[in-house]
Homo-oligomer: A and B are copies of this chain.
Amino acid sequence: MNRLEVFMQETAADVEKRLDYFLPYADMRPEILHQAMRHSILGGGKRLRPCLVLAAFEAAGGPEPDRPRTLDAACAIELLHCYSLIHDDLPSMDNDSLRRNRLSCHKAFGEAVAILAGDALQALAFRVMAMASGPLAGPAVAELAAAAGSTGMVGGQALDIEAAGTGQTLETIEWIDRWKTGSILACCCRTGAIFAGAGDEITAALTAYGETIGVLYQISDDILDLTADVKKLGKTPGKDAVAGKLTYPAARGIEKAREMVAEKCSLAKSVLQRFGKEALYLRLLADFLRDRANPDFRSRP
């Protein structure tokens, strides 16, 4: 394993432990709701967003004693992300029955419970963020709420659904990519900066990095949707074409999309020039996100 792989695996293990701690027990009333929440949160994913929070915290020179509460803040963002996946998979949205190689929440627990599990996870995300951040709760919660709201993640999903099947333009695609994915990834970086006590310039650089890899990530995701098989993807591939969604690779071709991914990766790393080796993981993460859209890239164990 290379250094990034070690960092990501260790972070994923730490995140899993804390998420298990934050989630109510499966035998606690209402049992089906807590089972659904646990089903959708535990045992899955690369935990990319928590990795970003901790990598940004490190890049901004965050002190070691503040790392545990930064990990909790990272878990809050992961909880928010997982709620959005549950709602995105619903029949009235993307209607997907597979997520992280198992049944999506509404397939396993029914639609009503899935909606409520998502709702409860969003509330839990803000609870964990408020508890983790202490005196920083004001900015930390406001940041997460703004990234999650109608001019952030949820707004991007609304644009995405609205645009499906109609005459989309590349401009709409850029809005969707920036809002749906970019806002939360930028929020990860800003949260790392807040918990590190970073100044405005450092925060601005980390924000620019986060926004850029947000677009990079969404384009590489759309490439994977076109090229990967179900096992590698962990969810149903080819969905965008079926739903009539225009994506960057569909509009400009896969090769052009890979070039765009490489450009965004360079751009993301260029805004990190002011940082020294403390930004190592952020640089490696940009490369990782670029490479996952390559045909010969294999998912990590």
Q: Which of B111, B129, B157 contacts A92 (CB 8 A)?
A: B111
Q: From residue A210, how far is it (CB to closest CB) to chain B in Å?
A: 18
Which residues of chain B are within 8 angstroms of A120 by Cβ–Cβ distance?
Answer: 149-150, 154-155
Q: Provided the pairs A138-B134, A150-B33 are in contact, do residues A126 and B124 lie with their beta carbons within 8 angstroms?
A: no
What sequence of 0s and 1s flags, for each residue 27-52 of chain A, a beta carbon within 8 Å of any chain B beta carbon?
01110111001000000000000000
Residue on B nearest A84 in the bound complex, by CB: B119
Is A133 a contact partner of B138 (Cβ separation < 8 A)? yes
Q: Provided the pairs A24-B150, A87-B115 are in contact, do residues A30 and B131 lie with their beta carbons within 8 angstroms?
A: no
Is B145 a contact partner of A124 (Cβ separation < 8 A)? yes
Is A145 a contact partner of B127 (Cβ separation < 8 A)? yes
Is A113 a contact partner of B149 (Cβ separation < 8 A)? no
Cα(A148)–Cα(B123), bound, Å: 6
Is B157 a contact partner of A116 (Cβ separation < 8 A)? yes
Interface centre among A28, A87, A133, A138 (most CB of B within 10 A): A138
Q: From residue A143, how far is it (CB to closest CB) to chain B in Å?
A: 9
Cα(A119)–Cα(B34), bound, Å: 19
Determine whether A167 belongs to the interface, using a CB cutoff of 8 Å to chain B: no
Which residues of chain B are within 8 angstroms of A116 by Cβ–Cβ distance?
Answer: 87, 150, 154, 157-158, 161
Determine whether A75 belongs to the interface, using a CB cutoff of 8 Å to chain B: no
Which residues of chain B are within 8 angstroms of A162 by Cβ–Cβ distance?
Answer: 30, 32
Mark out the residues of chain A between 128 and 169 whose CB falls within 8 Å of any chain B CB in the assembled complex: 129-131, 133-135, 137-139, 141-142, 144-146, 148-152, 154-155, 157-159, 161-162
Mark out the residues of chain A between 23 and 80 whose CB falls within 8 Å of any chain B CB in the assembled complex: 24, 28-30, 32-34, 37
Is B158 a contact partner of A113 (Cβ separation < 8 A)? yes
Determine whether A6 belongs to the interface, using a CB cutoff of 8 Å to chain B: no
- From DSSP, what is the main secondary structure of chain A's interface residues? helix
Determine whether A108 belongs to the interface, using a CB cutoff of 8 Å to chain B: no
Which residues of chain B are within 8 angstroms of A157 by Cβ–Cβ distance?
Answer: 116
Cα(A29)–Cα(B161), bound, Å: 13
Determine whether A90 belongs to the interface, using a CB cutoff of 8 Å to chain B: yes
Chain A residues close to B by CB (< 8 Å):
24, 28-30, 32-34, 37, 84, 87, 90, 92-93, 110-113, 115-120, 122-124, 126-127, 129-131, 133-135, 137-139, 141-142, 144-146, 148-152, 154-155, 157-159, 161-162, 175
A/B interface sample: 26 pairs, CB < 8 A:
A29-B159, A30-B155, A30-B158, A30-B159, A92-B115, A93-B115, A113-B161, A116-B158, A116-B161, A118-B119, A119-B122, A119-B154, A120-B154, A122-B123, A123-B146, A123-B149, A123-B154, A124-B145, A124-B149, A126-B126, A126-B141, A127-B149, A130-B137, A130-B139, A133-B138, A137-B138
